[in-house]
């Protein structure tokens, strides 16, 4: 792929009266025409044509995108704005013209192979006993860096496996515990390919990889193939994979309280997975879900996508606060979601947020909330 493959999209945006402007969280929270999808695409076209944008700041607008795809919901031409902007980032990187914020972030990422620059292996060893981290398993839970950092959702997944007598899934404990998506988001394609090759080798014996995070899922399934490192294993989302296994079950205890659901962009607009998490929640909850006015393919992003929190934490946090307000307008006391990244962003914005896997663990084993969470 290259910017050339987005020629049609770039032309469509150039002649458009910004029909999707209102749906772009970055344009809404930054209050700048320069970060509307329209203007970002104009800059991407200039980068692709090697016509220098007016200034480094003008080129840098291509990083002000959450890859949320919300613009596409309101685009009559189904333009893939984030796809083009990611290609523009890659073009800048390949010419050593990337934003200095990107260089700083990549230096941190390379320290431990994850965006938190933390020893996530040590966390994994603390929360998952050695017998559940087999060196070679046919089926693994790939927690991903965001879930490992949060810890509670990994513990909840183990509780769900135990309650459903699923004893053949180990927890992946290789050297690389992040899928590498941040490298792709920053435009470092060679770094991403090297990361993908390493992780593909570590997952070599697996036949099934279950992901907690929809960004990991999309990365392992789609982007690894795009850089010539396809996994031989089937990649599935854990919540979706669990769905049929709940059919003959009843919860030990239903969870009280009014919940709303936040659709993560990569589960929703990218994979159209709207029903599976809602079915799990209706299995677990005493009350029906309070649906937000902005939901499903019109759900606003939590601010966590596109690598934006790593380089532009202010606008990312503002997008999270904006989304939280939309969810709180439902009157629900709690928010459920199906992405550890969304859980982190909305939680840091002040929301009471739980992953559907955490809600499911509590409903299935009746042992109360995952430690570290508040009781409903």
- By the rule CB under 6 A, 68 interacts with ligand SF4: yes
Cα torsion 264, 266, 271, 274 to 10°: value is 0
Q: Which is nearer to ligand SF4, 67 or 337 (CB)?
A: 67
Cα torsion 172, 177, 181, 183 to 10°: value is -150
- By the rule CB under 6 A, 16 interacts with ligand SF4: yes
Rule CB under 6 A: choose which of 60, 75, 336, 346 binds ligand SF4: 75
- By the rule CB under 6 A, 13 interacts with ligand SF4: yes
- By the rule CB under 6 A, 132 interacts with ligand SF4: no
- By the rule CB under 6 A, 342 interacts with ligand SF4: no
129 contacts: CB under 8 Å, gap ≥ 6: none
Closest approach, Cβ 365 to ligand SF4, in A, equals: 38
Work out the angle at residue 280's Cα, subtended by the Cα atoms of residues 278 and 163, and round it to the nearest 5 degrees: 165
117: exposed, middle or buried (Cβ count in 10 Å: 0-12, 13-18, 19+) = middle
Positive or negative, the CA dihedral 125, 129, 130, 132 is negative
- By the rule CB under 6 A, 66 interacts with ligand SF4: yes
Binding flags for ligand SF4, 21-40, as an x/- string (CB under 6 A): --xxxx----------xx-x
Angle between helix 356-365 and 275-284 (nearest 10)? 30
Return the residue matching tokens 């070679």.
136
Q: Which is nearer to ligand SF4, 77 or 111 (CB)?
A: 77
- By the rule CB under 6 A, 320 interacts with ligand SF4: no
Rule CB under 6 A: choose which of 65, 199, 212, 213 binds ligand SF4: 65
- By the rule CB under 6 A, 334 interacts with ligand SF4: no
Alpha helices in 243-372 (DSSP H): 275-284, 308-311, 313-328, 340-348, 356-365
- Select from 59-67, 124-132, 284-292, 356-364 the region that touches ligand SF4 (CB under 6 A): 59-67
Q: Which residues bind ligand SF4 (CB under 6 A)?
A: 12-13, 16, 18-20, 23-26, 37-38, 40-41, 65-71, 75, 77, 79, 81-82
């Amino acid at each position: 792929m290259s910017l050339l493959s987005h020629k049609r999209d770039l032309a469509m945006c150039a002649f458009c009266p910004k029909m999707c402007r209102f749906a772009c969280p970055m344009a809404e929270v930054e209050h700048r025409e320069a970060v509307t999808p329209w203007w970002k695409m104009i800059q991407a076209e200039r980068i692709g044509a090697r016509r220098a944008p007016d200034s480094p700041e003008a080129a840098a607008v291509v990083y002000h995108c959450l890859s949320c795809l919300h613009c596409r919901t309101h685009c009559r031409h189904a333009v893939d704005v984030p796809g083009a902007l990611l290609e523009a980032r890659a073009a800048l990187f390949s010419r050593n013209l990337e934003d200095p914020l990107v260089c700083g972030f990549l230096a941190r990422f390379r320290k431990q192979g994850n965006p938190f620059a933390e020893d996530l292996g040590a966390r994994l060893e603390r929360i998952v006993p050695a017998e559940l981290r087999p060196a070679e398993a046919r089926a693994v839970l790939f927690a991903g860096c965001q879930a490992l950092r949060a810890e509670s959702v990994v513990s909840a997944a183990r509780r769900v496996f135990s309650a459903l007598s699923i004893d053949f899934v180990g927890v992946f404990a290789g050297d690389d515990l992040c899928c590498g998506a941040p490298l792709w988001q920053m435009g470092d394609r060679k770094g991403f390919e090297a990361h993908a090759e390493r992780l593909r080798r570590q997952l070599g014996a697996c036949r099934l990889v279950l992901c907690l995070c929809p960004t990991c899922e999309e990365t392992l399934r789609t982007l690894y193939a795009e850089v010539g490192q396809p996994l031989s294993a089937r990649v599935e989302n854990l919540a979706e994979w669990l769905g049929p296994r709940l059919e003959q079950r009843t919860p030990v205890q239903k969870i009280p309280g009014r919940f709303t659901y936040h659709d993560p962009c990569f589960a929703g607009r990218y994979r159209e997975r709207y029903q599976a998490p809602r079915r799990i929640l209706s299995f677990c909850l005493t009350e029906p879900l309070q649906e937000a006015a902005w939901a499903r393919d019109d759900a606003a992003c939590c601010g966590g996508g596109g690598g934006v929190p790593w380089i532009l934490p202010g606008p990312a946090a503002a997008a999270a606060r904006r989304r939280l307000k939309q969810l709180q307008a439902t009157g629900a006391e709690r928010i459920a979601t199906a992405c550890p990244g969304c859980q982190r962003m909305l939680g840091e914005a002040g929301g009471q947020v739980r992953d559907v896997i955490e809600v499911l663990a509590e409903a299935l084993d009746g042992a109360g909330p995952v430690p570290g969470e508040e009781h409903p």
